[in-house]
Amino acid sequence: MSNSLCGGRCGYIIGQAQVFNPVNYIFLQGSKAYPIDFIFMVILILYFFIATVVGIVFVGIRFLWFLPLPALPNLQSRVDLYKIRRHGTLPQGLLMGTIFLMLSILALMYSLTTIVAPQYAHFGGQTYCNHTIGDWGEVRDCTDVPQAILPCSSASEAKDICTQTVVSLFLNRITLTFPFFGGVAFWGQFAFLGVWVVAGLAGVLRRPRMEDLGERGSDDEDDERTGLLES
């Protein structure tokens, strides 16, 4: 929230980064040697996308998925709708999996712009001179004051020099128009990180069983259950 211009009133739009972000720093430094930053961005996007695809294939299409309650061991904690299998996925499962991937791309675009690398996603490696000379301050000259060369940000005064990226401009306009959705998306990022940390610790401390991974039963039983759901 310290990086936002006006907090929740404007949907937590990033103004000027004040908290050190190692990923953002790597991209900014890589932008000085073209095309290192582009290579890093492609690798990062492919990592997120492949991780999402692997997760969908591994988990499948489920409804109401949560761990069984100790007090109610016989309670069905999830409904398996479709399984992603080689040469065995139903068309409905492929369609729902494609929809999930499309939604994940939207979430990835928002996450890269606001959380992962906000400074780089908004203005790239652009900088501007914050020192003016002349009678009216009409000339920007940082020859003698290199420390006045600052990175571009939404809070900078050089609006005529700094050019914002199309993706960040699109997201900022939506967030300004609907600040409620901007707040939900912003806090949803931290909720996702919290769930990821808890799930990671649970995976390290507790070895998953086969029934927890959805491998219980044969393929014939899965096909029968899927047929009952479609009827």
pLDDT at res. 207: 63
The chain-wide mean pLDDT, for the chain, equals 77
Lowest mean pLDDT among 36-40, 136-140, 160-164: 136-140
pLDDT tier, 205 (very low <50, low <70, confident <90, very high otherwise): confident
What one-character DSSP code corresponds to residue 9?
G
146-164: per-residue pLDDT in tens? 888 888 877 776 777 888 8
Q: For 80-104, what is the mean pLDDT?
A: 84
Which tokens sit at 85?
């299998």
Question: Could you tell me the pTM of the whole model?
Answer: 0.70
- Would you say residue 138 lies in a domain? no
Collapsed DSSP state (helix, strand, coil) of residue 128: strand
Structural domain that includes position 56: 7-126+163-230
- Would you say residue 43 lies in a domain? yes
- Would you say residue 137 lies in a domain? no
pLDDT at res. 30: 87
In the predicted structure, residue 181 carries a pLDDT above the cut 50: yes
222-231: per-residue pLDDT in tens? 555 555 555 5
Which residue do the tokens 């699109």 mark? 170
Radius of gyration of the chain (CA): 24
- Would you say residue 11 lies in a domain? yes
pLDDT at res. 161: 81
- Would you say residue 47 lies in a domain? yes
Lowest mean pLDDT among 88-92, 187-191, 214-218: 214-218
pLDDT tier, 216 (very low <50, low <70, confident <90, very high otherwise): very low
- Would you say residue 177 lies in a domain? yes
Percent of the chain with pLDDT over 90: 2
- Would you say residue 16 lies in a domain? yes
Tell me if 96 sits within 8 A of 81, measured CB to CB. Answer: yes
- Would you say residue 135 lies in a domain? no
Q: State the sign of the Cα–Cα–Cα–Cα dihedral 210, 216, 222, 225.
A: negative
Which tokens sit at 48?
């997120």
Q: Number of structural domains, the chain?
A: 1
CA distances from 230 to 42, 65, 81, 224, 227 (A): 39, 19, 9, 10, 5
